[in-house]
Amino acid sequence: MRTQVGILGAGPAGLLLSHLLHLEGIDSVVLEDRSRSYVENRIRAGVLEQVTVDLLNDTGLGERMQREGLVHHGVEFAFAGRRHRIDFADLTGGKAITVYGQHEVVRDMIAARLAAGGQILFEARATAVEDIESERPRIRYEHEGEVRELACDFIAACDGFHGIGRAAVSDGLRVYERHYPFGWLGILADAPPATEELVYSRHETGFSLLSMRSPQMARLYLQCDPEDDLKNWPDERIWAELHTRLEVGGGPAVPEGPILQKSITAMRSFVVEPMQAGRLFLAGDAAHIVPPTGAKGMNLAVGDIVVLARALAGYFRQNRTDGLETYSDVCLRRIWKAQRFSWWMTSMLHIFPDATAFDDRLQLAELDYVTGSRPALQALAENYVGLPFG
């Protein structure tokens, strides 16, 4: 099979790239090793920056998001027995974030691609990426019991942290990485959220976050040991910790309900440079991971794809190569700013195992300064609602 752009992975990055290329009249084929059902029901965080929301709306992908997404004009910080609301709309000229599950974004993108006749091959396991330094790179893959080959002009590796895309160029990459000494215990509960906006709480027993999937479904997180066992977290203990960490400073009671899902996720920062080799380009989790505190994961992937789609359009429509040559540098400027913001939010709000009393007082002073200074609040809000793409 032959196409202009071969895309590894049918997550938000790969699907968005295929959609944007379609709007430019450029052919692509998406290879995904999982089933369509698995991809559409893979639950991930869903806080969308204003720039991501605008892009989805502008490119015809936002109809259902506009109906079902929860628009938030601020978040709340709770610490030292008090609460402070950060008003994004006031601080950023009316910008906001939207809570809309990543799996919902994926469903919308799949529907749009299939409706337009796009080629998405599910349960197509890529086994090798070859000849990326040539003008005809290839992807070998297994589909419907046969070994096949996809020849293309360019390859976009949007296949996640464990995909084969980055492995194809791993010898020439510089890796920057940090592991944090804590993780997040996340739960999905059949209970209404205690508040209409996200609450970030720094408590002496650990960080917690109140989020939501819908007005009837709460998504909640607790700082924990990344090596802990879920057996040590029965429902009763989870609710007790949530009450302790979130109901501070006169905050509302956290409604309880059946816990539908629970999992523990380790936290890390990861970046590879450069994000390109020959005619292969890395995007999304294949190139970078951020701790979830800053809500940047999927938004960073979207930013990569906007830059890559523009570069490919310049090549195919105007025979320009400058966008392709600078893809990595342009993306990395935004990625490192998001890494800084995510690291800063994580460091300010979590209790570190080896922290001293001095460290504790510094954290509280940082929170007190940020919530009491309009310029500091503007910097936080500007980063949270999303820096411009490219």
Which CATH number covers residue 165? Answer: 3.50.50.60
Global pTM reads 0.95
Shared domain for 325 and 273, answered yes or no, is yes
Mean pLDDT of 313-342: 97
Residues 53 and 68 in one domain: yes
**Same domain? 210 vs 118:** no
Q: Is residue 106 part of a domain?
A: yes
Q: Tell me which of 141, 221, 315, 384 is the catalytic residue.
A: 384
pLDDT score at 188: 94
pLDDT tier, 43 (very low <50, low <70, confident <90, very high otherwise): confident
137 as an active site residue: the answer is: no
Residue 184 domain-assigned (yes or no): yes
Among 12, 19, 72, 350, the active-site one is 72
Q: Which domain holds residue 60?
A: 5-72+98-177+268-345
d(CA 77, CA 367): 9
Q: Is 176 one of the annotated active-site residues of the chain?
A: no
Mean pLDDT of 349-353: 97
Asked whether the predicted pLDDT for residue 326 surpasses 90, the reply is yes
Average confidence (pLDDT) over 53-67: 97
Say whether pLDDT at 45 is over 90: no
The catalytic position among 141, 200, 221, 327 is: 200
One domain, residues 40 and 161? yes
CA–CA dist 232, 230 (Å, integer): 5
Please check whether residue 12 lies inside any domain of the structure: yes
- Find the CATH number of the domain harbouring 377: 3.30.9.10
For range 266-281, the mean pLDDT: 97
Q: Is the pLDDT of residue 170 over 80?
A: no
Sign of CA dihedral 231, 45, 224, 81: negative
81 assigned to some structural domain: no
Q: Which of the listed residues 345, 360, 375 is the one where a domain comes to its end?
A: 345
Q: Is residue 38 flagged as an active site residue?
A: no
Query: Pick the catalytic residue: 73, 203, 296, 350?
Result: 296
The answer to whether position 14 is within a domain reads: yes
Q: Which residue out of 95, 180, 292, 327 is catalytically annotated?
A: 292
Q: Any alpha helices (H) in 41-120, and if so which ranges?
A: 50-58, 63-68, 88-92, 102-115
Examine the domain organization and report whether 127 and 49 are in the same domain.
yes
Task: Count how many domains the chain has.
Answer: 2
Whether 154 and 301 map to the same domain: the answer is yes
Q: Residue 296 catalytic?
A: yes
With a cut of 90, say whether residue 390 has pLDDT above it.
Answer: no
Per the annotation, the verdict on 200 as an active-site residue is yes
Mean pLDDT of 228-234: 97
